[in-house]
């Protein structure tokens, strides 16, 4: 028997489904997104991390007074204390500080190094090395070490950095009214103030020094630029092939400077009212920053200016360094890739950097409750499992997928979406 009311309800439901399916931003968990249970609620994971190589870690509380560490499914501990691990650039090794029965150790993927009474402070990986360095102290005896080398500090070290291979370690110490740069324990430069950017691929430090009221930028003993009235930021890219800084020459205007060894003089931007948040491509001589010029907010990308919108998220680069990306809101949500803005019909989380596939076909991010990504060619939004709390999201350069960590009822899940 035909029932008009039931028929009307069914018709409305069918129409709603069709509208949703035809929407250009249909949110769905399709075959391109999956999830995997990593730790159940009994492990009581409470802090997590995820590297761009896909290596994940979690701190757990399997026992009331102890802490466990899980790295890619391998369980370590329990310990009295665990300092967050760091991962080498190639993903082949990790290192963390752990304390058990009042003794500190450096735990790596290969072994455990006892610090024999010292207190662990921090661990480092040079950008092209899988061999860790660790900062440790015993009272006023401060040291930085790797397996076969140790260097001591006279006072608290600042701006610790390495050449890409980890052969040279540099830092700055304050001595009375001056700063001093050290390389492998040997004093190099003294100035009223020093900002150490890093160590160039050839082993020379690159840094800014202030004598009196004027700043200069040096690579080793070579002066790159002089007579700067102020210098707010100086950064070296991941593979130590390009350096950038923000400075004023005394006219009251700021400029962005970019330098590589192939340049006789640094490239400089047009005069700016302000600039901040320098970001460098890891490989290429490409620099981006938030700027204000002629009263207009913009993203300056190696001299070209692009609208930043009323709100803008962090600037980031693809892992191969070829693409610069940021998200924003300017009435509607948008994402800009190498200066090309694309409008989106869904909200983007502006508190975290947008992750981008190296071919520019998709961007991903962590929302409050899941991993989200947009196919930019089709403007289609896909989402992973809905979580109670969403952790970090990365673009895994090995699997070429977006990955994230999320908690559901105390369980830790790995969410993965394949944009291809």
Res 338 pLDDT > 50: yes
pLDDT at 31: 61
Average pLDDT, the chain: 91
pLDDT at 48: 97
Q: How far apart (Å, rounded) are the C-alpha atoms in residues 367 and 183?
A: 43
11-45 burial: b if 16+ Cβ within 10 Å, else e: eeeeeeeeeeeeeeeeeebeebbebeebbeeebbb
Task: Quote the tokens at residue 206.
Answer: 């690159």
**DSSP state string for 18-53:** HHHHH-TT--B--TTEEEEEEE-GGG-EEEEEE-TT
pLDDT at 18: 34
Q: Which residues fall within 8 angstroms of residue 172, CB to CB, at 6 or more apart?
A: 157, 158, 159, 179, 180, 181, 182, 194, 196
Res 378 pLDDT > 50: yes
pLDDT, tens digit, 9 for 90 and up, residues 316-330: 999 999 999 999 999
Q: Which residues fall within 8 angstroms of residue 74, CB to CB, at 6 or more apart?
A: none
> Average pLDDT in the 335-341 region?
96
In 3D space, the residue among 169, 162, 170, 84 whose CA is nearest the CA of residue 128 turns out to be 162
pLDDT, tens digit, 9 for 90 and up, residues 51-103: 999 999 999 998 888 999 999 999 999 999 999 999 999 999 999 999 999 99
> Average pLDDT in the 129-137 region?
97
Chain-centre distance for alpha carbon 213: 33
pLDDT band at 13 (very low <50, low <70, confident <90, very high): very low
pLDDT at 258: 98
Q: Which residues fall within 8 angstroms of residue 146, CB to CB, at 6 or more apart?
A: 131, 132, 133, 134, 166
At 11, which helix (H) or strand (E)?
A: helix 4-22
pLDDT at 151: 98
Backbone angles phi, psi at 256, to 5 degrees: -95, 135
**DSSP state string for 355-399:** EE-TTSSEEEEE-SSSEEEEETTTTEEEE----SEEEEEEEETTT
Res 16 pLDDT > 90: no
Task: Quote the tokens at residue 296.
Answer: 């207009």
Q: How far apart (Å, rounded) are the C-alpha atoms in residues 376 and 337?
A: 10
Task: Quote the tokens at residue 14.
Answer: 């069918």
> Average pLDDT in the 99-121 region?
95
Q: How far is CA 244 from CA 31, 33, 201, 304, 342, in A?
A: 43, 38, 15, 16, 28
The answer to whether the predicted template modeling score (pTM) of the entire model surpasses 0.85 is: yes
> Average pLDDT in the 162-172 region?
97
> Average pLDDT in the 302-320 region?
95
Task: Tell me if 144 sits within 8 A of 151, measured CB to CB.
Answer: yes
> Average pLDDT in the 195-213 region?
97
Q: CA 193, 194, 195 angle in degrees (round to 5)?
A: 135
Res 28 pLDDT > 50: no
Largest Cα–Cα separation, the chain? 95
> Average pLDDT in the 206-217 region?
97
pLDDT at 69: 98
pLDDT at 7: 38
Least confident of 12-21, 209-218, 325-334: 12-21
- 3-class secondary structure, 118: coil
Q: CA 325, 266, 316 angle in degrees (round to 5)?
A: 15
């Amino acid at each position: 028997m035909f029932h008009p009311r039931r028929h009307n309800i069914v018709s409305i439901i069918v129409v709603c489904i069709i509208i949703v399916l035809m929407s250009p931003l249909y949110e769905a968990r399709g075959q391109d997104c999956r999830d995997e249970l990593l730790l159940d609620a009994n492990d009581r994971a409470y802090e997590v991390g995820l590297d761009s190589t896909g290596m994940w870690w979690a701190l757990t509380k399997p026992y009331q007074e102890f802490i466990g560490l899980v790295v890619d499914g391998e369980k370590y501990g329990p310990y009295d204390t665990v300092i967050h691990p760091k991962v080498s650039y190639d993903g082949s090794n990790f290192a963390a500080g752990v304390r058990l029965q009042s003794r500190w150790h450096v735990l790596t993927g290969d072994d455990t190094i006892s610090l024999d009474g010292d207190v662990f402070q921090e661990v480092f990986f040079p950008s092209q090395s899988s061999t860790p360095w660790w900062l440790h102290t015993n009272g006023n005896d401060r040291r930085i070490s790797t397996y076969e080398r140790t260097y001591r500090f006279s006072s608290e070290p600042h701006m610790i950095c390495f050449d890409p291979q980890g052969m040279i370690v540099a830092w700055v110490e304050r001595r009375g009214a001056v700063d001093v740069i050290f390389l492998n324990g040997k004093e190099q430069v003294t100035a009223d103030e020093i900002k150490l950017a890093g160590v160039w691929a050839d082993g020379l430090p690159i840094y800014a020094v202030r004598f009196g009221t004027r700043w200069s930028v040096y690579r080793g003993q070579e002066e790159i630029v002089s007579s700067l009235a102020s210098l707010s930021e100086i950064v070296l890219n991941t593979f130590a092939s390009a350096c950038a800084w923000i400075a004023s020459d005394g006219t009251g205007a700021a400029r962005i400077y970019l330098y590589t060894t192939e340049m006789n003089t640094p490239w400089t931007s047009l005069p700016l009212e302000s600039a901040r948040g320098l970001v460098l491509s890891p490989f290429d001589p490409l620099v981006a920053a938030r700027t204000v010029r002629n009263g207009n907010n913009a993203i300056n990308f190696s001299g070209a200016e692009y609208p930043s919108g009323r709100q803008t998220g962090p600037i980031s680069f693809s892992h191969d360094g070829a693409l610069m990306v940021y998200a924003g809101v300017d009435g509607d949500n948008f994402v800009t890739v190498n200066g090309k803005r694309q409008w989106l019909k869904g909200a983007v989380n502006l508190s975290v950097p947008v992750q981008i596939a190296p071919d520019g076909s998709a961007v991903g991010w962590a929302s409050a409750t899941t991993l989200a990504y947009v196919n930019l060619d089709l403007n289609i939004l896909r989402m992973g499992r809905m979580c109670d709390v969403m952790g970090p999201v990365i673009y895994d350069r090995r699997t070429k997928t977006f990955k994230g960590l999320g908690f559901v009822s105390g369980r830790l899940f790995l969410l993965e979406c394949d944009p291809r």
